[in-house]
């Protein structure tokens, strides 16, 4: 979703991710599916992710837009059409 | 880089919204749009209302682009439904200003009287 940079990056994070519970990486290997699925009529999974916004880098959370309509789009790579 | 080299050529001033990174796919997994085999996001699109509830979703494989006009039409329809506190519904192909339906016992079996497929433009 973003171009690679030479510096350390903050990973995107989903609230309620079961992998947060102090598990070692060995324990979570093979556990591909997080038990959260987006469905219409259900609460959208809350997340925080590093973002580019108006010339700078910031963090963005879904809850930043509480009370507003949100259009959330995922795309495979930069420089592709949407 | 993308914003400077291409997007500013499409939209004056560049992209007005946040462009978030999800390199590890954590957000994509939660939304069911992360392709584990390729390590990319599918073309997922979610309309989320002011209460944080997903009202619509569309997921496509990468080669086909989306239709932003249709997305905006859906948002306008969901906004109308929300403003009516759920008393109104929009028929197929509805656009702002067109007839809306008032679902209830009076409408059962009588939708044909007020709406038919030819009205969808």
Residues 1-60 of A with CB under 8 A from B: 1-3, 9, 11-14, 17, 32-34, 36-47, 49-55, 58, 60
Full residue range of the structural domain in which residue A52 is found: 46-82
Q: pLDDT tens for residues A18-71? A: 655 554 444 444 444 455 679 999 999 999 999 999 888 999 999 999 999 999
- A71 in a structural domain: yes
- A32 in a structural domain: no
- A39 in a structural domain: no
- A52 in a structural domain: yes
Run of H or E including A58:
strand A56-61
The model carries a pTM of 0.77
Q: Which residue of A has its CA nearest to B47?
A: A71
Q: Is-contact B73 B95, C-beta < 8 A?
A: yes
Say if the Cβ atoms of A40 and B2 lie within 8 Å. no
- In 3D, which of B78, B75, B40, B82 has the Cα closest to residue B59? B40
Q: Is-contact B101 B88, C-beta < 8 A?
A: yes
Q: pLDDT tens for residues B57-104? A: 999 888 888 898 999 999 999 999 999 998 999 998 899 998 898 888
Residues of B in contact with A73 (CB under 8 A): 43-46, 66
Q: pLDDT tens for residues A4-16? A: 445 556 677 888 7
Q: pLDDT tens for residues B6-65? A: 666 777 777 889 999 998 999 999 999 999 999 999 999 999 999 999 999 999 888 888
Q: Would an 8 Å CB–CB cutoff place B9 in contact with chain A?
A: no
Whole-Å CA distances, B88 to A27, B70, B100: 50, 20, 7
- A58 in a structural domain: yes
**Above 80 in pLDDT, residue B119?**
no
- A72 in a structural domain: yes
Number of domains, chain A? 1
CA atoms within 13 A on the CB side of A38: 28
Q: Is-contact B92 B120, C-beta < 8 A?
A: yes
Which positions ≥6 away from B46 have C-beta within 8 Å?
A38, A44, A70, A71, A72, A73, B31, B54, B56, B57
pLDDT > 90 fraction of chain B, expressed in percent and rounded = 54
């Amino acid at each position: 979703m973003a171009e690679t940079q030479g510096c350390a990056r903050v990973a995107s994070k989903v609230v309620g991710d079961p992998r947060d519970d102090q598990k070692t990486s060995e324990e979570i290997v093979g556990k591909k599916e997080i038990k959260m699925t987006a469905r219409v009529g259900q609460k959208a999974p809350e997340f925080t992710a590093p973002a580019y916004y108006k010339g700078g880098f910031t963090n963005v959370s879904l809850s930043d837009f509480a009370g507003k309509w949100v259009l959330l789009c995922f795309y495979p790579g930069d420089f592709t059409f949407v | 880089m993308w914003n400077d080299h291409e997007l500013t050529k499409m939209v004056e001033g560049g992209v007005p919204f946040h462009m978030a990174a999800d390199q590890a796919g954590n957000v994509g997994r939660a939304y069911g749009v992360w392709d584990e085999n390729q390590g990319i996001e599918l073309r997922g699109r979610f309309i989320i209302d002011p209460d944080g509830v997903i009202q619509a979703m569309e997921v496509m494989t990468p080669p086909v682009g989306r239709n932003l006009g249709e997305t905006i039409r859906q948002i306008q329809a969901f906004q109308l439904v929300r403003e009516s506190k759920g008393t109104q519904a929009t028929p197929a192909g509805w656009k702002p200003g067109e007839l809306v339906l008032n679902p209830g016992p009076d409408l059962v079996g009588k939708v044909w009287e007020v709406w038919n497929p030819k009205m969808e433009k």
